[in-house]
A and B are shown apart, each in its own frame.
Chain A
Amino acid sequence: MKTEDLSKLLVFGSIQDKKEIISRLQHLGVMHISKADPSNQLVQDSPMQGVDVMSHLLLNLQYIAKQTNLDTSFTLEGLPPVEKVIEQANEFVEKHLGKVEDLSNEKKSLLRKHARILAQRSEIEKLPFALNHRVPSAHQRIVLLSENSVAGYPFPVKLKIQQEMKNQGQFFTEVFVLNKDLNQLHNSLRKSQSKQINLPEMPLGSVQFLHTLQREEKDINEKLDEIEKDFFRKINGKQSKIKFLITSLENYREQANITQKFLQSKNFFAVQGYVVKKDVQRIKNSFPETTIISMPADTKAPSKLKNKGFAKFFEPITTMFGIPTYSLIDPTPLVSLFFPFFFGFMLSDVGYGLLLLISIFAIYFQVGEKFKTPLIIFGTSAVSSIIFGMVFGSFFGNLVPITPLYQDSFSASFIILQVSLLIGLVHINLGVLLQIYQQFLKKTPLAKALQVTLPIPLIEGAVVLLLFKQYLAAIIVAIILLILLYREKGFFGIMDITGFFGTWFSYARLLALSLATAGVALAVNIVAQKALSLGKIGFVLWLFVIAFGHLFNFVLNIIGCTIHSVRLHYVEFFSLFYEGEGHPFKEFKIQRKMNGSED
């Protein structure tokens, strides 16, 4: 629940070793390099020029551009700034290698299809007979392979044996079985020492199916030939080299920029930075000839978050508000629990939850790992929506009737309001506990810590005492509260009391949005139901209203639930304790690793 503990490092080296040390630090990739303060002996360094390296890389890029015939306009005159070169090189890659990667992916997909066809063909060609009988309705064709004939075997289900043939000491039998008996047959196959040959569905028989496969195979081979020509003409095996050169340029750019943070004298230079405590020894071992001084990190240290697993995906929600201050609380683990919970509570519909889940899977299969973080955030939120939808019995409103595990949100709205406020109270008090922990981390003097953390528990205490009619005790608590608030913020400190109730009632939005989702869904269903009574066109209208109405409600509420879940965290929860004034820990490391998948 707090940021990673860091150590501050000072690395001193001789000017001759500078390039070597920078390169090794970059390859280790564990140090956040910060700008060192100049002293009497050491002055600010300037960016490396490295003309030789730049020239070499530029010449290579230009050579490749000409060789691949991809872009004759790729020319760089003189020695432009490194940023300009990287920009042009990236444009070059995006323009041409992107297309090549698409072709490469298409090729992979065609090869997969080709492999499937080959596998199916080989299974069918192993059979000693053709499968020409038409499959009757409600039946399935199965081919069994066994040591002995299955004709006399007492199967527990009725089998229509079409043909049986012995080939190389084994019996192949084509049978038809009723769909409803399939499971029972599968269970009995083990006892009969027969096994089923996995074959694709062939309603028109195996001969016809083999013809179809051959046609598909021919099409795939033609497409593959086309891609091969295009692919090799365009790239001719150069793409990995281009990527390597761009990577080198980017790494060089990092090295050139990082030196601005160094200090140097005539003979020595110094690097100042921060590393995770466990990496200190690793750095010391990697630079045995260099002087390295380690000390506890100061308040200027960057913040490295240490969330693992599921919680890590929710870091962007926390950092969007602000990076946690170094050595203080990182509330991401709690955000990872409460965000999907709030989202699910507010959407609370099985249909919309499923729709969100399907959309997420569709996006995942389109874009892959690239958008994993938002997909995990919304995936868990979708599951939470499905669960709350089941609790309140909502499936596209009342379109699909399901029995609620509790009650529908309209009948139980007052109870749900109370539950929402209770959840709010839990959330707020977790914030208070985190504030207490934060004061402990900051080693705040007790009197000051009490002044900051006590008001909310005292307000709650006074309310509870009033509810139990303990008026005298309530008045004493109220007086203590007013004194604390006056000492902390003066006369306007009293506003904190109304502020607390404002914050608390804000959690009523959990019910409000839940009702809004269910209400609009219900309205869509009522309008659609009216349309159904319009005769023949009614069904088309019904379908139109249902599709567009629910899509509208779905999109509107996904946006609404996201914003309000985020808002409950930022405004109500974080305001109680969170100090998002840190800056991120950025390792000085190799920027892009080479990926040889295209080769």
Chain B
Amino acid sequence: MVDMTTGLIAIGAGIAIGFAALGSGIGQGIASSAAAGATAENEKLLAKMLVFAALPETQAIYGFVIAILLLFVFGQ
């Protein structure tokens, strides 16, 4: 049986990564559509635009770091 604290930590980790990924996904959608538009006008921009599209993923990484810290620092 999982105790209450462990359960709350797991929920916290889920919220951390879940909302971070949600925000990151919305950001990535906006950035990617703009990048696709720019690439359609100038094919040479493809490489740079791929990087721009990947930029908002950083917020998801922060959420991921928090989730890992919650699980491994407080969860042990």
In the assembled complex, how far is the CB of residue B49 from the closest CB belonging to chain A, in whole angstroms?
10
**Which B28-76 residues have a C-beta within 8 angstroms of A?**
47-48, 50-51, 53-55, 57-58, 60-62, 64-65, 68, 72-73
Kindly identify which residue among A506, A563, A570 contacts B61, using a CB–CB cutoff of 8 Å: A506
CA distance A505 to B20 in the complex (A): 14
Q: What is the minimal beta-carbon distance from B28 to any residue of chain A, in angstroms?
A: 11
Q: Is the CB of B61 within 8 A of A512?
A: yes
Q: Which residues from B are CB-within-8-Å of A566? A: 47, 50-51
Question: Number of contacts between A and B (CB, 8 Å)?
Answer: 44
**Chain B residues within 8 Å of A509, by CB:** 57-58, 61
Bitwise interface map of A from 476 to 512 toward B, beta carbon under 8 Å scored 1, else 0: 0000000000000000000000000010011011011
**Contact assessment for A413 and B61 in the assembled complex, using a CB-CB cutoff below 8 Å:** no
Closest A residue to B44 by CB, please name it.
Answer: A320
Q: Is the CB of B54 within 8 A of A563?
A: yes
Residues of B within 8 Å of A571, CB to CB, are 51, 55
Query: Is the beta-carbon distance between B54 and A567 smaller than 8 angstroms?
Result: yes
Which listed residue (A320, A502, A505) contacts B48, Cβ 8 A? A320
| Residue pair A563, B64 in contact (C-beta under 8 Å) | no
By the criterion CB–CB under 8 Å, are B64 and A512 in contact?
Answer: yes
Cα separation A321 to B51 with both chains bound (whole Å): 10
List chain A residues, Cβ under 8 A from B47. Answer: 320, 566
**Chain A's nearest CB lies how many Å from the CB of B53?**
8
Asked whether A508 lies within 8 Å of B54 as measured between CB atoms, the reply is no
Q: Which of B47, B53, B72 has the most CB of A within 10 A?
A: B47
**Minimal Cβ-Cβ distance residue in A for B52:** A567
Sort chain A's interface into a size bin.
10 to 19
**Given A413-B68, A417-B65: A564 in contact with B58 (beta carbons within 8 A):** no
Contact with A567, one of B51, B60, B68 (Cβ below 8 angstroms): B51
> CB-CB < 8 A to B72: which residues of A?
413-414
Complex Cα–Cα for A321 and B49 (A): 11
In the assembly, what is the distance between CA of A333 and CA of B60, in Å? Answer: 31
Q: Which residues of B contact A564 (CB under 8 A)?
A: 54, 57
Q: In whole angstroms, how far apart are the Cα atoms of A505 and B60 in the complex? A: 11
Q: Are B58 and A502 in contact (CB under 8 A)?
A: yes
Q: Are B62 and A570 in contact (CB under 8 A)?
A: no
Task: Across the interface, name the chain A residue whose C-beta is closest to B68.
Answer: A417
Q: Are A563 and B51 in touch, CB under 8 angstroms?
A: yes
Can you name the residue of chain A whose Cβ is closest to the Cβ of B60? A512
- Using a CB–CB cutoff of 8 Å, the interface residues on chain B facing chain A are 47-48, 50-51, 53-55, 57-58, 60-62, 64-65, 68, 72-73
A-B contact pairs, 29 of them (CB 8 A): A320-B47, A320-B48, A413-B68, A413-B72, A417-B65, A502-B58, A502-B62, A505-B62, A506-B61, A508-B61, A508-B62, A508-B64, A509-B57, A509-B58, A509-B61, A511-B68, A512-B60, A563-B50, A563-B51, A563-B53, A563-B54, A564-B57, A566-B47, A566-B50, A567-B54, A567-B55, A570-B51, A571-B51, A571-B55
Task: Across the A-B interface, give the 10 residue pairs with the lowest CB-CB distance, nearest first.
Answer: A414-B72, A563-B54, A508-B65, A509-B61, A320-B47, A512-B64, A567-B51, A508-B61, A567-B54, A563-B50
Given contacts A321-B48, A502-B58, A567-B55, 18 further A-B contacts (CB under 8 A): A320-B48, A414-B73, A417-B65, A505-B61, A505-B62, A508-B61, A508-B64, A509-B58, A512-B61, A512-B64, A563-B51, A566-B47, A566-B50, A566-B51, A567-B54, A570-B51, A571-B51, A571-B55
